[in-house]
Amino acid sequence: MIYNQKIRKSLLRFALIFLLVPSMFLFTNCSGGASDKAEDVADSVVAPVKKLNSEILLEEIVKNGDLINSAKVPAMIKVTAVNEAEEGSFKIIDLRSGKDFSEGHIAGATNIKLGELFDYIKSIDVASFKKIVMVCYTGQTASYASSALQMMGYNNVYAMKWGMSAWNKKFSGKWAKNAKSDLVEKLSVEAGKKGEKGTLPDFECEKTSGEEILEARVSKLFSDGFKKGYVTIDDVVASPNEYYIINYWGAKHYNLGHLEGAVQYNPKKSLGLDTELLTLPTDKTIVVYCFTGQHSAFVTAYLRVLGYEAKSLKFGANGFMNSMMLDETIGHGFSDKIIHDYKFETSEYVEEGEVEEGGC
C-alpha cells in the first residue's frame, strides 16, 4: 500500500512538470526575456550575500571574548603587582627604544620593538606565564599592543598602568611634562550629537577566515606603529571639525566638562554591533579620549583593526585638564603620588637599525 502511494506521488510530480515546462516555454517566447528574468530571480535567491571582511573579523573578535565591550577592559596591571610578582611568573615585554631600555628596565624584561611584536608573541609559549605584561613609557603604547593581543585570544596579556613613569622617578619625565591643565576653563557642558547608524568599514584582505584576517590586521597594526594610532591635543584643538571626538567616560564625568563637540560613549558596552558601533563614521577620523590615554588606546586598536580611521588622544584628559583629574571624585590624575621607587637594571646598548620611539 505504501509502495503504491509512492508511485502515485511520483507520477503526479512528473505530470505537473510535463504540464509546466511547455507553458514556461510559451511564456518565454511571448514575453521576450522572461527566461532571463527567471534566471535572475533564481540567482538572487541562491547566491549568498557576501560578508564584509570587517563583519567576519568582528565575529572572530567576539568569539575571542569581545574585550572592548567586556568588564575586563582596560586590561591593565598596577606597577605594585608587577613588583610583587613571584620571579618568573610574569613575562615582561618592554616596548621602549633600545637606548632607553639599556638605561633602565625591570629585571628580566625583554626589549621588543612594536613592529616585531607579532612574530615574537608567536615564538613564545604565552600560556606558560601567569601574565604577559606589556611595558612602555607611559602605558599608552603598551595598552595599544595589549588590546590587539587580547583580541587574538591571548587573554593573559596586560598593560602596566602609567608605564615606566610610575616605576621610578628616573623614567617619569614623559608623564610629568605632559600632564597639563591648559583647557580647564574652555571645556564644554553641551552634549555632542551621535552619528546616525550606518555600516561597518570595509577593507581588502587576501585572507578569508576570521582568524587569518584578524592576524593579518594585527600584524599590520604593529608594523604601522603607534604613531599612526594617536593624535595630540594641539592637533585636535587646531582643527576640531576634522574629527569625530569620542569622550569615553560615563555620563557623570562627561557632564562635568569635556572637549567641545565631543560625543559621550559609555565605556565597556557601547561599541558592539548590537549597541552603538555603527554610529561611528567611516569617512572621518575618530578621536577617542579617556582619562589617561590608556583605555582609549585599547579602544583605538580595536577600531583600527576593524578598519576605522581612529586615533587615541595622547595622555587623555590629563593632557589638558589634569587638575580636574586629580579631584578625588574622578581620581585618574597623574602626579608624583603614583611614582614609586622600585629597583631597575641597566644593560649594554647595541644599536639595531631604525628605532621607533612612538612617544608613549
| Each residue's pLDDT tens digit, 100-144 | 999 999 999 999 999 999 999 999 999 999 999 999 999 999 999
Query: 3 pLDDT band (50/70/90 cuts)?
Result: very low
Q: Kindly report the number of other CB atoms within 10 A of residue 321's CB atom.
A: 27
Instruction: Tell me the pLDDT tens digit for each residue of 280-336.
Output: 999 999 999 999 999 999 999 999 999 999 999 999 999 999 999 998 778 899 999
**Rounded Cα gap, residues 351 and 124, in angstroms:** 24
> Could you identify the residue written with the cell 608623564?
175
Reply yes or no on whether the pLDDT at 172 is more than 90: yes
Structural contact between residues 294 and 301, judged by C-beta atoms closer than 8 angstroms: no
Structural contact between residues 267 and 295, judged by C-beta atoms closer than 8 angstroms: yes
pLDDT of residue 50: 83
In sequence order, the β-bridge partners of residue 159 are 76, 134
Least confident segment among 3-12, 249-258, 266-275:
3-12
Please indicate whether residue 144 or residue 43 has the higher confidence score (pLDDT): 144
pLDDT of residue 330: 84
Instruction: Tell me the pLDDT tens digit for each residue of 198-232.
Output: 999 999 999 999 999 999 999 999 999 999 999 99
Least confident segment among 39-48, 65-74, 176-185, 271-280:
39-48
* pTM of the predicted structure, to 2 decimals: 0.85
Reply yes or no on whether the pLDDT at 256 is more than 70: yes
Reply yes or no on whether the pLDDT at 7 is more than 80: no
pLDDT of residue 156: 97
Query: 49 pLDDT band (50/70/90 cuts)?
Result: confident
Nearest to 287 by CA among 265, 264, 313: 313
**Rounded Cα gap, residues 316 and 358, in angstroms:** 16
Percent of the chain with pLDDT over 90: 81
Percent of the chain with pLDDT over 70: 84
Reply yes or no on whether the pLDDT at 38 is more than 60: no
Query: 41 pLDDT band (50/70/90 cuts)?
Result: low
State which fold the 53-338 domain adopts: Oxidized Rhodanese; domain 1 (3.40.250)
Cα separation of the two ends of the chain:
82
Mean pLDDT taken over the chain: 88
Structural contact between residues 189 and 255, judged by C-beta atoms closer than 8 angstroms: yes
Structural contact between residues 135 and 93, judged by C-beta atoms closer than 8 angstroms: yes
Reply yes or no on whether the pLDDT at 350 is more than 90: no
**HSE on the CB side for 317, CA within 13 Å?**
29
**In the chain, what are the domain boundaries?**
53-338
